Chain A
């Protein structure tokens, strides 16, 4: 597939895209990819649905509906020892590296048993035990990922460092510093840039003169390709190739994936009021859904049956219900305990938050987002 100009302007190309059929040897993989995408999508929809009536996930959440294919592929391809980094749109990557749904929900609720003890929330969540880290400041994780790759090269392992980000991150200077340094030092790093056309509300073609991120990365000496971002089988084939090359010292690679964010930039509400995209765009990309199109394909190829979908759907729904329960019932963290552990002796507590007495914090007194 040859993209030109702003990738999202390639309407003919996109409208007529045919998802790749899995070969016989890829059928198990296809099923696993579908399961991951289905599960991730279900979790995102459930969180969106419960976000406001509950008002207990008191942090900004950047959902990833429509962008599930890359995390699905990485969940199949990466090892525990590989490192994975993402930006604020973190849930897919958290789950793909092996973070549990329970730990995710507990963290969103700000509970003590959350993935990071309620310190990080959604946009900075990490699973250190599985070498997954995220953070909202663009290129922050990209740059750290370079150092991890450098480490891996010096230690002579076959592990790789994977940095995922959006097209917005390529506005930042450090992104290009990262590419260049990785190329000069032949580092085992895979840069995945999910080009969903927007940096919050600003479209890609208003932010760049030269439109092809992969081509620009090639100019820095990083072997690059641009792919349609919603086709799990094609992505799996290409990412496997890249990862294999990386593990064998083939040098850094960049994959630009052309995809779309169906939900708003942040939060469950629609952001149509910002008038930055049309319903035509949403309709087009709705037809390119990595879940629906892929599911239809697998069902038509008899790799997936409707019974299996039903049965798996029940399992996933149970997981969602269990995770909400665990999160709601989880204990709150205590600031004084944290501070004590971190040796902050001069910290003086606000008398309203009387943590020593384990009083429940009065949530109404804490302001909401923005």
Chain B
């Protein structure tokens, strides 16, 4: 049973399903009970489930994430929503010093089944304090599932899968894909999303592995590469930040010999660094590969629209770098 949903709608559907089928599940966060919902993702839920299941939080992020953790250790299953990564940095203590190590320091006994949804801003001059992604930081933490779904299907199933296992999950959502539509198949049963990467398109000329909202530019580029340059890229959605599937990426580059990693954040110590170093580690032998990364400049997202355009990786950048890679010999 398939349905075409936008990314935002699929998150709404998944939360509705969870709230309906788990009496101890609650949705908490700033303005989750507002009529428009958090960018549409919580719209109408308070009307369906009431204000003791859909709970507004004040802008006191240091307390609120910790409080949601407290709910999770005492019999509830909270979904906590943070509208902007930049603002929820008051919660870093709660996430790094309490959530991540809680189960470990209890001796594997006390679990924290919390889902934290964090939204990454992009565009319309939001500027340097509304645009950071920081998936690198969260992805490094042991014992938390960190996933960055790029499409409606993985967004939907990440939420469902979270409630079917016991580790805490941080789901990072790129705002710029919220309006994108794709099919969600409700009949598949819970797939493995939180700890998986996906080969979305098969190809042989190069591998393009991408993170998050760059999906839009990647697919525009892939279609240009095919139609104008007869280049078939193999496209991999990295998807899991905490546990990317390095095996499928390695298998891919063994075939194509060339990889372009598109990761929308600073290049230093990033997921793109991790992908490439894992290829290097697995490459025991004489295979020669070519690597290229597309990341942010070593600065901050500026407000001015012209600067913003130059700052972010655009379709043309991906096409240009792909052509370069394909034309080189490893």
Question: Chain B residues with Cβ under 8 A from A133's Cβ?
Answer: 73, 106, 110
Q: Is A199 an interface residue (CB 8 A)?
A: no
Nearest A residue to B246, CB-CB: A346
Stretch in B55-63, B197-205, B307-315 with 4+ CB within 8 Å of A: B55-63
Question: Chain B residues with Cβ under 8 A from A155's Cβ?
Answer: 24, 75-76
Contact A150 B67 (CB under 8 A): yes
Nearest A residue to B26, CB-CB: A154
* Distance A236 CA – B24 CA, assembled complex (angstroms): 34
Q: Is A151 an interface residue (CB 8 A)?
A: yes
Q: Is B74 an interface residue (CB 8 A)?
A: yes
Q: Is B142 an interface residue (CB 8 A)?
A: yes
Docked complex: A136-182 residues within 8 A CB-CB of B: 137, 139-140, 143-152, 154-155, 161, 173-174, 177-178, 180-181
Q: Is B70 an interface residue (CB 8 A)?
A: yes
Contact B110 A146 (CB under 8 A): no
Contacts A116-B106, A140-B98 given; does A174 touch B71 at CB 8 Å: no
Question: Chain A residues with Cβ under 8 A from B72's Cβ?
Answer: 147
Contact with A along B72-106 (1 / 0, CB 8 A): 11111000000000000000011001100000111
Q: Is B13 an interface residue (CB 8 A)?
A: no
Contact A124 B105 (CB under 8 A): yes
Q: Which of B74, B106, B143 contacts A151 (CB 8 A)?
A: B74
Q: Which of A173, A180, A344 contacts B62 (CB 8 A)?
A: A173
Q: Is B68 an interface residue (CB 8 A)?
A: yes
* Distance A210 CA – B76 CA, assembled complex (angstroms): 38
* Distance A119 CA – B102 CA, assembled complex (angstroms): 11
Q: Is B108 an interface residue (CB 8 A)?
A: yes
Q: Is B284 an interface residue (CB 8 A)?
A: no
Q: Report B220 CB to chain A, min CB distance, Å.
A: 35
Q: Report B80 CB to chain A, min CB distance, Å.
A: 10
Q: Report B22 CB to chain A, min CB distance, Å.
A: 13
Contact A128 B93 (CB under 8 A): no
Contact A174 B110 (CB under 8 A): no
* Distance A151 CA – B66 CA, assembled complex (angstroms): 13
Contact A140 B76 (CB under 8 A): no
Question: Chain B residues with Cβ under 8 A from A161's Cβ?
Answer: 70, 74
Contact A145 B143 (CB under 8 A): no
Question: Chain A residues with Cβ under 8 A from B26's Cβ?
Answer: 154
Contacts A135-B98, A177-B63 given; does A115 touch B70 at CB 8 Å: no
Question: Chain B residues with Cβ under 8 A from A137's Cβ?
Answer: 93, 97-98
Q: Is A359 an interface residue (CB 8 A)?
A: no
Contacts A137-B97, A177-B62, A181-B63 given; does A151 touch B70 at CB 8 Å: yes
Contacts A83-B74, A151-B75, A155-B75 given; does A140 touch B63 at CB 8 Å: no
Q: Which of A116, A152, A177, A184 contacts B74 (CB 8 A)?
A: A152
Question: Chain A residues with Cβ under 8 A from B105's Cβ?
Answer: 116, 119-120, 124, 126
Q: Report A249 CB to chain B, min CB distance, Å.
A: 15
Contacts A135-B98, A140-B94, A181-B58 given; does A128 touch B109 at CB 8 Å: yes
Question: Max chain A CB contacts within 10 Å: which of B52, B72, B98, B107?
Answer: B107
Contact B143 A342 (CB under 8 A): yes
Contact B110 A126 (CB under 8 A): yes
Contacts A154-B26, A178-B63 given; does A144 touch B73 at CB 8 Å: yes
* Distance A139 CA – B66 CA, assembled complex (angstroms): 10
Question: Chain A residues with Cβ under 8 A from B62's Cβ?
Answer: 139, 143, 173-174, 177
Question: Chain A residues with Cβ under 8 A from B98's Cβ?
Answer: 135, 137, 140, 144
Q: Is A341 an interface residue (CB 8 A)?
A: yes
Q: Is B194 an interface residue (CB 8 A)?
A: no
Q: Report A247 CB to chain B, min CB distance, Å.
A: 16
* Distance A154 CA – B77 CA, assembled complex (angstroms): 12
Q: Report B244 CB to chain A, min CB distance, Å.
A: 12
Q: Is B69 an interface residue (CB 8 A)?
A: yes
Docked complex: A66-121 residues within 8 A CB-CB of B: 83, 114-117, 119-120
* Distance A117 CA – B62 CA, assembled complex (angstroms): 29
Question: Chain B residues with Cβ under 8 A from A154's Cβ?
Answer: 26, 52, 71, 76
* Distance A173 CA – B93 CA, assembled complex (angstroms): 13
* Distance A42 CA – B94 CA, assembled complex (angstroms): 35
* Distance A131 CA – B109 CA, assembled complex (angstroms): 11
Contact B63 A143 (CB under 8 A): yes
Q: Report B295 CB to chain A, min CB distance, Å.
A: 23
Contact A147 B74 (CB under 8 A): yes
Nearest B residue to A151, CB-CB: B74
Question: Chain B residues with Cβ under 8 A from A119's Cβ?
Answer: 104-107
Question: Chain A residues with Cβ under 8 A from B106's Cβ?
Answer: 116, 119-120, 126, 128, 133
* Distance A122 CA – B66 CA, assembled complex (angstroms): 22
Nearest B residue to A112, CB-CB: B107
Question: Chain A residues with Cβ under 8 A from B68's Cβ?
Answer: 147
Question: Chain B residues with Cβ under 8 A from A152's Cβ?
Answer: 74
Question: Chain B residues with Cβ under 8 A from A129's Cβ?
Answer: 109
Nearest A residue to B59, CB-CB: A177
Contact B63 A146 (CB under 8 A): yes
Contact A174 B74 (CB under 8 A): no
Contact A150 B71 (CB under 8 A): yes
Known: A135-B98, A150-B71, A180-B58. 16 other contacts (CB 8 A): A120-B106, A126-B105, A126-B106, A126-B110, A128-B109, A135-B97, A137-B98, A140-B94, A140-B97, A143-B66, A143-B67, A149-B70, A151-B74, A154-B26, A154-B52, A155-B75
Can you pick out 5 interface pairs between chain A and chain B where the beta carbons lie within 8 Å of each other? A117-B108, A126-B110, A137-B98, A150-B70, A181-B60
